[in-house]
Amino acid sequence: MYLTVSKALTSLFSFTVDWPLNETLHPPSSPTFYLSTQWTSSIVFPKRDRRAAHWSLLAEKPCRKRNGTLYEAWRAMTLLSLEEDPEATSLLSKRHSWVKRRVVPDLGEKKRGALGGTCLNVGCIPSKAMLNNSHIYHQTLHDIKSRGIDVDGVSLNLPNMLKAKDTSVTGLTKGVEGLFKKYKVDYIKGTGSFVSANKLKVDLLEGGEEQIEAKNVIIATGSDAMAFPGVPFDEERIVSSTGALSLQEVPKKLTVIGGGVIGLELGSVWSRLGAEVTVVEFMSGIGGVGIDEEIAKSFQKILTKQGFKFKLNTKVTSLKREGDVVTIEVEGAKDGKKETLTSDVVLVAIGRRPYTDGLNLEAIG
């Protein structure tokens, strides 16, 4: 009798592996590599197997019935992780005994050395902090007077707003680190790469090197912002979403290349703080692939009222920085009409790519 383990690696990939059904569930004996930060496995038991109803598997939860079949699910742990999944840490030492350590290499040139991955450090958490604080500032300037509240001398203190954002991030990353200590998870700060299928080399942030051997490794390295072809980010005038969270002054003109949720969110932050924002999008609507058309249209109306300008069905053909000015050449995707835009800062938000740089994946074999 076998358990069927379905691993949903991403929304695009899935496959099935069979493991023998024993009284105790063990990992595969051969090295297995999973490219996912959110690996969820479902154990499917035949209805006739009543033993399953009494099992408390690795997640230490009773099985539940669904459509006459018993299921149990758990989140797998990460051994090698550039992008940490903090939700998984509490399961590690008690419920996944074959996973002994985590390695957290840094991303990019600036050594991160902090848990929580993209979302916590340079994604959802800091962007929501900036959205909230910029909303309060914008509302104070433009809305509260009509509500019978008079406030004089309102001004923006951008350094303090950025500091408040960083404080929110630091508090949460330290909290995750505290969970690691609580559940006795070894946390190694450094840049990890494969030496072989079972051996990892870590260049430690504090200097030196450490090697770790493991039977199974889950690669959960996350993603990185895609640059405009041939134009690398300088994170000053041509910025990624990471750079857009730390601009040291409010740009007079901000051009956003890509009308997906990331570009619109960060564009909204700087629009509220006083920037003139123009969004260039190749598609005929905003919000990215898969967004409901009615919602996208309503959202565009809200942002237009806020001051956004949109150039839809438009592609960028050239991007060039000259001093403190960035020149953007655009062209109509349908009519071929050409136009030249200038901007103080350009946010390139055209998507993200898997982050596997420096892992030396060839060594896996």
* Residues 158 and 71 occupy one common structural domain: no
Domain tally for the chain? 3
Is 86 among the domain residues? no
Cβ within 8 Å of residue 270, ≥6 positions away = 134, 244, 247, 250, 251, 254, 277
Pairing, β 40-45 against β 69-75: antiparallel
Pairing, β 101-104 against β 186-196: parallel
Each residue's pLDDT tens digit in the chain (365 positions)? 222 222 222 222 222 233 333 333 333 333 333 332 232 233 333 333 333 333 322 333 333 333 333 322 222 222 233 233 333 322 222 222 223 344 444 433 344 668 888 889 999 999 999 999 999 999 999 999 999 999 999 999 999 999 999 999 999 999 988 998 898 888 888 888 999 999 999 888 889 999 988 888 888 888 899 999 999 999 999 999 999 999 999 999 999 999 999 999 999 999 999 999 999 999 999 999 889 999 999 999 999 999 999 999 999 999 999 999 999 999 999 999 999 999 999 999 999 998 888 899 999 98
Is 88 among the domain residues? no
* Residues 332 and 255 occupy one common structural domain: yes
* Residues 114 and 185 occupy one common structural domain: yes
Is 285 among the domain residues? yes
Beta bridge partners of 207: none
Is 118 among the domain residues? yes
Q: Which two tokens stand for residue 216?
A: 């199974």
List the one residue out of 102, 87, 80, 95 whose CA is nearest residue 32: 80
* Residues 251 and 281 occupy one common structural domain: yes
* Contact criterion met (CB below 8 Å) for 260 and 288: yes
Is 269 among the domain residues? yes
User: What is the C-alpha R_g of the chain?
Assistant: 24
Q: Phi and psi at residue 83, in whole multiples of 5°?
A: -115, 105
Distance CA(260)–CA(248), nearest Å, equals: 24
Cβ within 8 Å of residue 51, ≥6 positions away = none
* Residues 331 and 244 occupy one common structural domain: yes
Beta bridge partners of 353: 224
Sign of CA dihedral 141, 146, 147, 153: positive
Distance CA(192)–CA(106), nearest Å, equals: 8
Is 340 among the domain residues? yes
Residue 206 is predicted with a pLDDT of 87
* Contact criterion met (CB below 8 Å) for 7 and 39: yes
* Residues 261 and 199 occupy one common structural domain: no
Per-residue DSSP letters for 83-109?
S--GGGGGGHHHH-TT--EEEE---SS
Q: Which two tokens stand for residue 122?
A: 């340079």
Distance CA(339)–CA(331), nearest Å, equals: 6
* Residues 244 and 211 occupy one common structural domain: no
List the one residue out of 21, 24, 27, 28 whose CA is nearest residue 46: 21
Is 233 among the domain residues? no
Residue 61's domain spans which residues? Answer: 2-30+40-75
Provide the residue count of the chain. Answer: 365
Q: Which two tokens stand for residue 74?
A: 């758990």
Is 153 among the domain residues? yes
* Residues 194 and 131 occupy one common structural domain: yes
The CATH code of the domain that includes 122 is: 3.50.50.60
Write the single-letter amino acid at 166. D
List the one residue out of 269, 244, 242, 271 whose CA is nearest residue 346: 244
* Residues 277 and 130 occupy one common structural domain: no
* Residues 174 and 119 occupy one common structural domain: yes
List the one residue out of 235, 215, 216 whose CA is nearest residue 225: 235
* Residues 143 and 69 occupy one common structural domain: no
Q: Phi and psi at residue 202, in whole multiples of 5°?
A: -120, 120
Beta bridge partners of 308: none
Cβ within 8 Å of residue 128, ≥6 positions away = none
Distance CA(2)–CA(20), nearest Å, equals: 5
* Residues 253 and 192 occupy one common structural domain: no
Instruction: Say if pTM beats, i.e. exceeds, 0.95.
Output: no
- Which DSSP state fits 62? B
